[in-house]
Amino acid sequence: MDLRYTEQDQAFRQQVRAWLEEHVPRRKLESLDEKKAWHRKLYEAGYLGMGWPSEYGGRDARPMEQAIVGEEMVRAKAPAPVNGLGISIVGPTLIHHGTEEQKQRHIQKILTAEEIWCQLYSEPNAGSDLASLQCRADVDGDEFVINGQKVWTSGAHNSDWGLMLARTDRSAPKHQGISCILVDMSSPGVEVRPLTQLSGSSEFSEVFFTNVRVPADNLVGEMNAGWRIAQTTLSYERGGNTLSRYTRMQESYNRLLEVVRTVKRNGTALIDDPHIRWRLGKVFADMEVLRYASLRILSRLERGERPGPEASIAKLHYSELDKAIQEVFLDILGPYGQQIAGLPDEIALEQDTEEFEPGSWAYSFAWSRAGTIYAGSSEIQKNILGERVLGLPKEVRADRVQAAAQKAESGGNGEN
């Protein structure tokens, strides 16, 4: 064991910090164009797609360097890159599974935010049970014809392209009839309707597809191999970036420490209340464990190990912890914690939201409720841990029973 940052890492951190101090925009970015300009600046500095191979515009950076950039961006209150899903999901998917032509066509534009991407996965009836998705892509000559609906699509209203999972073989067992397809969001027949969320903001949309025609060349990987591809992209979502999530929590905690020293309740400064002190101690201890666990994951990534099912521990941990911590913050702050705007300066939370909108304690609290739902709910993570890490037998599930009955009937070799 050796948990010291190397001199090389520390020098890199200083370099990133200095760059951010000089370049982070002093005022809030208003338009999409301004956000894209900031994104390009980050890319040109070498801080986006860092881990990608250099032949595709990356820097072959080590996971530690990527983590350092993530941490320093949070610390510097830097706006996030505008093409988050393009960078975190789509780019790596194309690098691993795309054709050379797809790579040449899209990867550079993802890096420069010339193409903004969204992820067209979830459907009204396919959430946790994603493989039951029904949106169809039927082959017609050298085109797919897409019909169906997607929902909870982050950033769809700003997106030029979408990475879609669609059903391409309805007779196959559900995991084996899905393909991964690149969809131009400006195609005729695509309709995006923004949704307003519990938080009051509107980052998600529902997207409707009516006879949308997509060239067959937009298929990623093999026909009907979409599920396996999606499994690898979901694991990019889980695990690798927990250190920057920790940093975000820590920033809120540090702010709370300032607040509890100035705010009084029942005539006593909050910091002198033994119950509040107990909670502040517990929250910090719990956050530290997230930091230690993040370093443990990072040290594995540094050795070239990919996050396996164990990434579910990290996902479960930070999302459930965030929920617990936000509850404590609101307990301590009382009604101020639920005030959305106009808080006294000595209480306001300056930190921006996950989406880098101006934040409030209440807004962060609201978003903590999303974390245990998206990217595989806590219940799904527990299934993964139980079955794939502990090796417990799979549960009896209606769809498996049905598939087994069909298989017995047809004498086929469907696998589930």
Nearer to another protein by Cβ, of 2 and 100: the residue is 2
Give the type of residue at 388. Answer: R
Nearer to another protein by Cβ, of 28 and 394: the residue is 394
Per the structure block, which two tokens stand in for 231?
């499994």
Return all residues near 311 (Cβ < 8 A) that are at least 6 apart: 235, 238, 239, 240, 297
Nearer to another protein by Cβ, of 10 and 210: the residue is 10
Active-site choice (222, 237, 357, 387): 237
**What's the CA gap between 249 and 260, in Å, rounded?**
16
CB of 327 to another protein, least distance (A): 17
Nearer to another protein by Cβ, of 216 and 385: the residue is 385
The closest of 327, 242, 239 to 291, measured between CA atoms, is 242
CB of 22 to another protein, least distance (A): 18
Nearer to another protein by Cβ, of 16 and 181: the residue is 16
| Triad 341, 344, 268: Cα angle to 5° | 130
Q: Which residue has the tokens 């300066």?
A: 345
Strand partners, 170: none
**What's the CA gap between 246 and 85, in Å, rounded?**
20
Burial of 103 (0-12, 13-18, 19+ CB in 10 A): middle
**What's the CA gap between 266 and 88, in Å, rounded?**
48
Cβ proximity of 97 and 182 under 8 Å? no
Cβ proximity of 139 and 211 under 8 Å? no
Nearer to another protein by Cβ, of 128 and 210: the residue is 128
Q: 203 an active-site residue?
A: no
Return all residues near 358 (Cβ < 8 A) that are at least 6 apart: 28, 352
Strand partners, 33: none
Nearer to another protein by Cβ, of 95 and 243: the residue is 243
**What's the CA gap between 253 and 250, in Å, rounded?**
5
DSSP class of residue 115 equals S
Binding site for another protein (CB under 8 A): 1-6, 9-10, 13, 64, 68, 71, 243, 247, 257, 277-278, 280-282, 284-286, 288-289, 292-293, 295-296, 298-300, 302, 310, 313, 316-317, 379, 381-383, 385-387, 389-396
Per the structure block, which two tokens stand in for 100?
């050379």
CB of 247 to another protein, least distance (A): 7
User: Which residues are identified as catalytic?
Assistant: 237
